[in-house]
Homo-oligomer: A and B are copies of this chain.
Amino acid sequence: MEREGLFRKISMENEKKMVMLVLDGLGGLPLAGKTELETARTPNLDLLAAESELGLSHPISPGVTPGSGPAHLSLFGYDPLKYEIGRGILEALGVGIEVGPRSVAARGNFATLENDLISDRRAGRIPTARNREIIARLREKIQRIEDVEIGLYPGEEHRFVLVLTADGLDDRLSDADPEAVGKPPLPARAKCEAAAKTERIVNLFVDRLTSELAGRPPANTCLLRGFAKYPAIPAMSELFKLKAASIAVYPMYKGLARLVGMDILETGRTIEDQVATLKRHYAEFDFFFVHVKKTDSFGEDGDFARKVAVIEEFDRWLPEILELTPEVLVVTGDHSTPALLKGHSWHPNPVLLKSAFQRRMPVPGGRLDAMACGAPEGQACAKVTVSTPGITFGETACARGLLGTFPAMDVLPLMMANALKFKKYGA
């Protein structure tokens, strides 16, 4: 029996609540001996860590740095090498477009054509406002080619998304991009018979767009890359029998959650807003994916201090989430984004898992530190010190944690088990 068949067979519904708190790019590398997470003052996370099981998780496999797509598939319990999320689809998710099963999406660049040669692959990085004007104009002019609906969506600067919708489209197409300046435009080429229609439409589209923009440099043609159809991924409701909701701010993460069939809850832009949304909808779902983006953003900027600050802000809101007393709580990242590397990395994610059925058990009715702080046994301690001396939720503590180091796609199954949502396999 393979993995997904197993989950379909053993998963079952119950009323227990699971909350997965994902700080994007959480894992880091040390500066002066401590990572971003270890540097952050996180009294609430540290206290929680002392009562939880800790571990490290590999998003894909040791040494492999993931993009956001495969990293989130893993967190949602899917084998990230089984499902490929094409570039075009990810771009569409990133600008918040819903793409159906009949559509092919591609990433577009406005570019500059001079004397029939591409002279700038980014059209001088035109302002986003200009991009919006051009797209608005093109939307009026090119609505359909043959029976194919043309969808056009502006991105930042020179970027846009093209979505073709009709029956009989196929994404096995080479990029319509010479990938260098000083070369003529390169038409897309079908890699198989089935993509012939898509090839024809794509190349007609580039011609139409180029004649519409003639005489209006620098954005007077386009390049198209990463043709992709929507991947057929079984929903979390099928695989895990979960009623799952996402509380994410950025379109790409909403899109990734929608890929696996989650409900998308509208929320504001701050962690405070996200916590309020979680409280408001807490009764309606049994799995919540809460996505905090800024840890990754500051990691990508190489800004150690501001990544630390986001983690500290998150920590301040943690007690409000704990007050909901979900049966299973996970705090983790999708991948590491060390400020030192200014980008995603291969280093495994810190994982914290809290449930009633873990090997590290809280003192009944109180805190692990109850005895250490002098309070009578079984009573809560007022102080925020913990009995495990100096425990700090971070990569080092997680590397020594009871959960060990394991694939990130096993985090959700572990949550399911701890929520008693998995039946016994075999008799």
Contacts and interface: CB of A to CB of B under 8 A. Distances in A.
Interface string A394-414: 011001111111100010011
Contacts of A3: 61, 81
B66 A425 contact: yes
B65 A424 contact: yes
Contact of A64 (B65, B395, B417): B417
Contacts of A403: 405
Contacts of A85: 426-427
A359 B67 contact: no
A41 interface: no
Interface in A332-359: 338, 340-341, 343-347, 357-359
B404 A402 contact: no
Given A80-B426, A427-B69, A361 B30 contact: yes
A426 B345 contact: no
A2 interface: yes
Contacts of A81: 1-3, 6
Nearest to A395: B359
A425 B62 contact: no
Interface in A27-71: 29-30, 33, 35, 56, 60-71
Nearest to A407: B62
A367 to B, nearest CB: 12
A65 B346 contact: no
Given A87-B427, A414-B62, A33 B361 contact: yes
B359 A426 contact: no
Contact of A65 (B33, B65, B80, B425): B425
A27 B423 CA distance: 18
B62 A424 contact: no
Copies in the complex: 2
Interface string A313-332: 00000000000000000000
Contacts of A35: 359
A63 B357 contact: no
Nearest to A402: B399
Contact of A84 (B2, B69, B426): B426
**Residue among A3, A35, A424 with the most chain B CB within 10 A?**
A424
B410 A56 contact: no
A61 to B, nearest CB: 6
A181 interface: no
Nearest to A399: B402
A62 B413 contact: yes
A198 to B, nearest CB: 21
Contact of A347 (B64, B71, B359): B359
A242 to B, nearest CB: 14
A174 to B, nearest CB: 16
Nearest to A398: B402
A90 B410 contact: no
A206 interface: no
**Residue among A63, A347, A396 with the most chain B CB within 10 A?**
A63
A391 to B, nearest CB: 14
Contacts of A423: 65
A416 interface: yes
Contact of A30 (B341, B359, B410): B359
Nearest to A360: B30
Nearest to A400: B400
Contacts of A426: 66-71, 80, 84-85, 90
Given A63-B415, A91-B427, 4 more contacts: A63-B422, A64-B425, A67-B424, A399-B401
5 contacts: A63-B422, A66-B426, A85-B427, A359-B399, A399-B401
